[in-house]
Amino acid sequence: MEKFQQKWDRTGTRSVKWDLSETIFKNKDVLPMWVADMDFPSADAVQDAIIERAKHNIYGYNVMDQPLKKAIHSWLNKRHNWEINTNWLLFSPGVVTSLHMVVQALTNEKDHILIQTPVYPPFYDAIKKHGRNLVKNSLQLKDGKYEIDFDDFEQKIKDHQVSLFILCSPHNPLGRVWTKQELSKMGEICLKHNVTIVSDEIHGDLTYHEYTHIPLGSLSEELSQNVVTCMAPSKTFNLAGLQGSYLVVPNKDNRDKIEQQFKSQGLGMLNTFAIVAMEAAYLHGEEWLDQLLKVLQENKQYVQKTFHENTNLIKVLDAEGTYLLWLDCRNMGLSSSELKQFFQSKAKVGLNDGISFGHEGDGFMRMNIACPKEIVIEGVQRILTALDER
C-alpha cells in the first residue's frame, strides 16, 4: 500500500494533468485534480514486462496474438463473469477512437444517436463530427442519485428513429454502476426498436465493494449480438499514455464493418508496449487492483465525510464506481463561469467544469481522487478554506 501513499513528481514527464495545468487553469499554483488518469505508479508486473521487452531493443510491427487475447479472456471471465470468444476481439489505440470508428461503421450521416447526459464530452464529438444527429436522454437526479427516465428513453428512440445508443457504464462523470435491471431494460428497449448499442465500459474494473459492474453484452445471447463493448486496462492500471484498448463484438457482421473502418483509417495494430502492458496487467495485476480499490474507497469516504461535516454548499454524490466524484455546487449560487473562477482562482484546485459534460452539469464539478490521500486532503482543505473566505 506504500506506493499508493507516496507523492510522485509527475512534472517534466509530458503529463497533461501536471505539465499543462498552468496553461489550462491560468495559475501555476493550481492543484490538478481533473483529467482522468491516476497519480499512482502502475503494477510492478507492468513495469517489469515493459523493461524486459525494452531490453530486446527492436521495435518492429506487432501482432495481437493468442496469448494477449487469452489474457483478456481470462480477465473478463474472472473479474466480470463474462465468457467471451477471443474471435470477438478487435483492437484500438483507445476507447474514444473506437467510438468514432463504430459511429462511422454502423451508422450513416444524418442518423440519430442517443446518449444519456450529462456525460463524457467525447461522446458528443463522436456524433457531431461525423454528421450524425444527437439525441439526449437526460438522467434524473432524485434523492442524491441519478436514475434513468425510461419513458423518455424509449420515446426519444421512437420519435427520432434512433439507430445507435452510446452507453457509459459505469457512468462518467456520475459514478453510477448500472444494475442488472437497468441494463436489461435498456437492452430490451433497444432490441425492440432495432437500436444497436455501443457500451463504453472503460471504468468497469473500478467499482466499489458494494457494487458490481455487469458487462451489458453478458446478459443474454440475443443482447450480445446487439452490443459492441469498448474496454481497456488504461483507467484500471493507469496506462492511458500507452494507447491500448479493445472491442468485444460478438456480431460478425458488425465486427467486419468495424474492422474495415479501422483499416480505412490506417489503424491496424497497437504499439509494442501497449501490448506488453495489457497482457502483464491482466495476468499479474489483480492484487495491485484490489489494493487500489481500497485506497480509492478511503479517499472517497474522506471527501464525502469532510464536505458533509463542514459545509452545506457542496454535496458529494456517492460514486458507485470510477475514481471520479461529482460535486453538486448549486447551493453556492454561482454561474458556471463564476464556479470555474472560484475553483481555479480562489481555491486553486483544478477540477473539470460540470457544464462541459452537457447543460445538465451546470452547477456541478468533477473531482479526480486517484491520488495519494495527502493530495486529496490538500485539495479538499483548499476548497473549504476558499468557501470560508467567500
- pLDDT for 390 equals 84
Task: Decide if 242 contacts 234 (C-beta within 8 A).
Answer: yes
CATH of 2-43+287-388 given 3.50.50.60, 3.90.1150.10, 3.30.470.10, 1.20.1250.20:
3.90.1150.10
Strands 164-168 and 196-200: parallel
- Cis check for the bond before 41: say yes or no (omega within 30 of 0): no
Only one residue has cell 442517443, namely: 114
DSSP summary character for residue 177: -
Q: Does the pLDDT of residue 27 top 90, yes or no? A: no
Confidence tier at 23 by pLDDT (50, 70, 90): very high
Reported as a pLDDT band with limits 50, 70 and 90, residue 24 is very high
Asked if 102 and 258 touch (Cβ cutoff 8 Å), the reply is yes
Question: What is the reported pLDDT for 307?
Answer: 98
Residue 290 CB contacts under 8 Å (≥ 6 apart), including other chains: none
pLDDT tier for residue 2 given thresholds of 50, 70 and 90: confident
Handedness of CA 291, 318, 124, 14 (dihedral sign): negative
Task: Output helix, strand, coil percentages for the chain, rounded to the nearest 5.
Answer: 50, 15, 35
What is residue 300's predicted lDDT score, i.e. its pLDDT? 98
Q: Which of 233, 206, 205, 184 is nearest to 319 (CA)?
A: 206
Percent of the chain at pLDDT above 90?
97
Are 365 and 351 a contacting pair, CB within 8 Å?
yes
Here the cell at position 281 is 496487467
Strands 245-248 and 227-231, bridge-based pairing = antiparallel
**Sign of the four-CA dihedral 62, 68, 69, 75:** negative
pLDDT of residue 157: 98
pLDDT band at 378, cuts 50/70/90? very high
List the CATH code of the domain at 58-283.
Answer: 3.40.640.10
- Tell me the pLDDT band of 245, cut-offs 50, 70 and 90: very high
Domain ranges, ordered by start, for the chain:
2-43+287-388, 58-283
Angle at 376 between CA 373 and CA 381, to 5 degrees: 125
CB atoms near residue 41 (< 10 Å): 14
pLDDT at residue 1 is higher than 90:
no
| pLDDT of 83 higher than 90 | yes
Per-residue model confidence as pLDDT tens digits over 316-352: 999 999 999 999 999 999 999 999 999 999 999 999 9
For strands 315-316 and 324-328, give the pairing: antiparallel
- 166 and 99 in contact (C-beta within 8 Å)? yes
Confidence of residue 3 (pLDDT cuts 50, 70, 90): confident
